[in-house]
Amino acid sequence: MAALLGIFGSGGCGRGIVPFAQMHFVRSHGNGARVLFIDDRPQSKEINGHEVVTLSQFLCLPASERFVTIAVAAPHTRAQLWSRCEAEGLQAWTTIADSSIQMDSIVLGPGAALSPFTAIGSNVRIGRHFHLNLFSYVEHDSVVGDFVTFAPGAKCNGNVVIEDFAYIGSGAVIRQGISGAPLIIGTGATIGMGAVVLKSIEPGSVYVGNPARRIR
């Protein structure tokens, strides 16, 4: 029996992850390994050459091992889907594109998806199920929590703490903090597309603009 990897989510996020997930997973588990989409409401039986199944169908397929990567950008939804998968005994799979760069002394939690042309600087700690989208980076001495999303082109400079469930929008820039006094992005905060963040952000807030200002 072959190993299976389910990409949970067949929308744009999942379709962006599956090409490098396929290469990575087959390289790790051999040519018989299969990568499928998991979708609660599949619109078709196949997308981009990959079978689409529900979670219950995925659990019934013969397999030597079963893994999952949650391919949904919304942090809280990603956490909910992972809770379901974890309850079924599935293993989290970390998918890293060949062109993604990781420097020294990095801690990367399980279930991450690091897209092509991304980078993580030295001495960075990252929690579970992190999404680092195309052309994004996290620089040195930063700490990133669980279920954090970086949209394409998001930039986090050094000495920044990003707490759980934060969403960093496309093209947003977070100013570098100070060693011992990092800039903090609070739990569940959202930074809008193209925002320039110059100071710490309160938990659960939404910031937009240059310089970034709170809108709720």
The set of catalytic residues is 140
- pLDDT for position 36: 97
Which residue ranges in the chain fall short of pLDDT 70?
none
The burial class, CB within 10 Å (0-12 / 13-18 / 19+), for 169 is: buried
Of the residues 53, 75, 93, the one at which a domain ends: 93
| Together in a domain, 41 and 61 | yes
Of the residues 93, 113, 139, the one at which a domain ends: 93
Residue 214: inside a domain: no
Domain, as residue range, for 71 = 4-93
| Together in a domain, 179 and 123 | yes
Report if pTM > 0.85.
yes
Residue 76: inside a domain: yes
- pLDDT for position 202: 97
Rg (CA), the chain: 17
- pLDDT for position 43: 87
| Together in a domain, 49 and 103 | no
Q: pLDDT (tens digit, 9 = 90+) per residue, 81-98?
A: 999 999 999 999 999 999
Of the residues 67, 93, 119, the one at which a domain ends: 93
- pLDDT for position 216: 74
Query: What DSSP line would sit under the chain, residue for residue?
Result: ---EEEEE--SHHHHHHHHHHHHHHHHHH-TT-EEEEE-SS-SSSEETTEEEE-HHHHHHS--S-EEEEE--SSHHHHHHHHHHHHHTTPEE--EE-TT-EE-SS-EE-TT-EE-TT-EE-SS-EE-SS-EE-TT-EE-TT-EE-TT-EE-TT-EE-SSEEE-TT-EE-TT-EE---BTTB-EEE-TT-EE-TT-EE-S-B-TT-EEETTTTEE--
- pLDDT for position 135: 98
- pLDDT for position 52: 97
Residue 127: inside a domain: yes
| Together in a domain, 81 and 150 | no
CATH number for position 99: 2.160.10.10
| Together in a domain, 103 and 204 | yes
